[in-house]
Amino acid sequence: MKRLDSTPKKDGFRMPGEFEPHRGSYIIWPERPDNWRLGGKPAQHVFLEVIKKISKYEPITVCVSREQYSNVLNLIPTNGNVRVVEMSNNDSWIRDCGATFVVNDKGALRGIDWTFNAWGGLVDGLYFPWDQDDKIASKMCELERVPRYRLDDFILEGGSIHVDGEGTCMVTSECLLSEGRNSTMTKRQIEKVLCEYLNCTKVLWIPRGIYNDETNGHVDNICNFVRPGVVVLAWTDNKKDPQYAISKEALEYLESEVDAKGRKLEIHKLLLPKPILITKEESLGVDAVDGTLPRQKGDRLAASYVNYYTVNGAIIMPTFNDPNDELAVKTLQELYPDRKIETVYAREILLGGGNIHCITQQVPRG
Ligand code: KQY
């Protein structure tokens, strides 16, 4: 399909909010043994559960290596909503390496293909190489038969942005201004690229993401748009937790801002689970490989209910076997009265460094 030299804004395309109707979803099957314990088997069971839940609501494409292709074909539900496609990859974070889709008001769809460098390249990236992941966005555009905007000189992951579909984009300074991304650009230059490609007029710069998040603090783990003007923010009341100062700073920032339409934001706190640490057994199950982030016993994981995925008619929300699971379901049900809250016990995804939002990518209906 065609590679476009223009920008979405110039062509009248915008990135819709995740809560707007989807054509479908994508996911990549996990297997690399230096990220997923026990060769990825426990994580695969959880990914399968996520696939099953999403497929109740919309079509989903499962991208899988040739080694796992037959296995996945035999595992997936036969409800007509799941297709399996062989696709080379370095790991399974399609939120970050996949295409960001944009739509126009005539119903046309296009893809944005940012440069992906595994969350920081040779500065503080999480694995090497990432060449196959950097091709995923273009493969998605081919499968969707849509033209593609490729940015060879701009590094971005889908999990580091959220939009309200009405001109507001939300990021964290910790991530977008990190050394391993676009360090030769100023904040204003970065903002200009975001506004041009997502078709926004306002960027909200939350200072930091969730404590110890290995993505340099992706916004999709700390804050999300429920709908235009309404956000949900990861929160703890425990002042001794390093997360407290981070969430408080985010709250104060968001309270002091307005969105692209000049609205004050309605901010809802989503209480975090208690700190979750890697166990010795879990640590021992991950291959230790030079150049890949080690998984050590006692490391704190960046657990957050905010890393949920919004699909047509439902929310796919991670749970952690924590007393706050129930409260999170209740909070999200109140915020999304017209959607079913589907839960997945997601510790195995969390152990890989992210959660349900990080492993999924939507294709808007257009
Ligand atoms: O978006 C994410 N949270 C991805 C994290 C990547 C972790 C790789 N180990």
Contact 8, 310 (CB under 8 A): no
Catalogue the active-site residues: 358
Number of Cβ within a 10 Å radius of residue 94:
26
Residue 366 to residue 364: CA distance in whole angstroms = 6
Q: Is 26 helix (H, G, I), strand (E, B) or coil?
A: strand
| Nearest protein CA to atom 4 of ligand 1, as residue | 354
Atom of ligand 1 nearest to the CA of 157: 1
Give the CATH number for residue 318.
Answer: 3.75.10.10
Contact 203, 238 (CB under 8 A): no
Ligand 1 centre and the CA of 152: distance in Å?
22
DSSP line for 218-233: -GGGTEEEEETTEEEE
Residue 363 to residue 318: CA distance in whole angstroms = 21
Ligand 1 centre and the CA of 214: distance in Å?
7
Tell me which DSSP letter residue 306 carries: T
Residue 182 to residue 197: CA distance in whole angstroms = 16
What is the reported pLDDT for 224?
98
pLDDT per residue of the chain (366 residues) written in tens, 0 to 9: 999 999 999 999 999 999 999 999 999 999 999 999 999 999 999 999 999 999 999 999 999 999 999 999 999 999 899 999 999 999 999 999 999 999 999 999 999 999 999 999 999 999 999 999 999 999 999 999 999 999 999 999 999 999 999 999 999 999 999 999 999 999 999 999 999 999 999 999 999 999 999 999 999 999 999 999 999 999 999 999 999 999 999 999 999 999 999 999 999 999 999 999 999 999 999 999 988 888 899 999 999 999 999 999 999 999 999 999 999 999 999 999 999 999 999 999 999 999 999 999 999 998
Alpha helices in 145-268 (DSSP H): 173-176, 187-198, 242-255
Q: Is 141 helix (H, G, I), strand (E, B) or coil?
A: helix
pLDDT in tens, 160-186: 999 999 999 999 999 999 999 999 999
Letter string b/e over residues 301-333, b meaning 16 or more CB atoms within 10 A of that residue's CB: bbbbbbbbbbbbebbbbbbbebebbeebbebbe
Q: Mutation test of ligand 1: which of 90, 283, 358 has the most ligand atoms closer than 8 Å to its C-beta?
A: 358
Q: Is the CB of 95 under 6 A from ligand 1?
A: yes
Q: Provide the residue range defining the domain that includes 353.
A: 3-364
What is the reported pLDDT for 366?
83
Q: Is the CB of 325 under 6 A from ligand 1?
A: no
Q: Pick from 196, 108, 115: which is nearest to 150 by CA?
A: 115
Q: Pick from 213, 211, 152, 223: which is nearest to 182 by CA?
A: 152
Domain count, the chain: 1
